[in-house]
């Protein structure tokens, strides 16, 4: 009996953490965090789509993406520290994308598909991933 209860503790801890996270997402700060990460993901997808259609790289737009990801990180840090740290790294990536290799992006877990998927999971959503992984 005691062993069964001990085995339930990790699941209980996870449920409590998820409940706390959901409550934090419902207040004003949480709503700003949600809006920030959705905006960063969407604007990044739009930029990547433009590049895939043959548009040239745009330094001003990359700087704006860097700011968006950094703002998302700041808003998320009390809700999901891991995702916040990765958003911060995503901001660093967009500040100077040429300094990052594909393997560094994977190691840092900041490919757009992964960050977008984790943001969706945080919100309790599911959906298709991004087409490109930058």
Give the whole-angstrom CA distance, residue 61 versus residue 50.
11
Asked if the structure places residue 132 within a domain, the reply is no
Contact 37, 77 (CB under 8 A): no
Residue 134 domain flag: no
pLDDT of residue 5 exceeding 70: no
Residue given tokens 């969706």 in the structure block: 120
Residue linked to tokens 């419902």: 26
Among 42-46, 68-72, 75-79, name the one with the lowest average pLDDT: 75-79
pLDDT at 13: 53
Three-class DSSP category at 55: coil
- The tens digit of pLDDT for each residue in 103-132 reads 999 999 999 999 999 888 887 776 554 344
With respect to residue 10, please indicate whether it lies within any of the assigned structural domains.
yes
- Domain range enclosing 49: 2-123
- What does pTM read for this prediction? 0.74
Provide the pLDDT confidence category of residue 87 given band limits of 50, 70 and 90. very high
User: Has residue 129 been placed in a domain?
Assistant: no
Decide: residue 112, CB within 10 A, 0-12 exposed, 13-18 middle, 19+ buried.
buried
* Mean pLDDT for the stretch of residues 50-61: 97
Report the alpha-carbon angle 51-94-26, nearest 5: 105
d(CA 112, CA 110): 6
Residue-level pLDDT at 14: 52
In a domain, 111, yes or no: yes
Q: Where is 82: in which H helix or E strand? A: helix 81-95
The per-residue pLDDT for range 12-25, each reduced to its tens digit, is: 455 445 545 455 55
For the chain, the domain total comes to 1
In this predicted structure, the answer to whether residue 80 has a pLDDT above a threshold of 70 is yes
Classify residue 131: in a domain, yes or no. Answer: no
């Amino acid at each position: 009996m005691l062993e069964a209860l001990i085995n339930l503790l990790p699941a209980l801890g996870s449920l409590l953490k998820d409940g706390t996270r959901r409550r934090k997402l419902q207040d004003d700060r949480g709503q700003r965090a949600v809006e920030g990460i959705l905006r960063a993901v969407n604007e990044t997808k739009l930029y990547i789509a433009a590049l895939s259609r043959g548009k040239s790289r745009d330094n001003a737009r990359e700087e704006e993406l860097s700011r968006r990801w950094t703002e998302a990180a700041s808003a998320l840090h009390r809700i999901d520290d891991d995702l916040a740290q990765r958003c911060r790294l995503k901001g660093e990536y967009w500040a100077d994308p040429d300094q990052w290799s594909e393997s560094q992006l994977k190691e840092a877990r900041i490919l757009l598909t992964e960050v977008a998927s984790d943001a969706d999971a945080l919100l309790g959503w599911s959906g298709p991933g991004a087409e490109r992984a930058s």
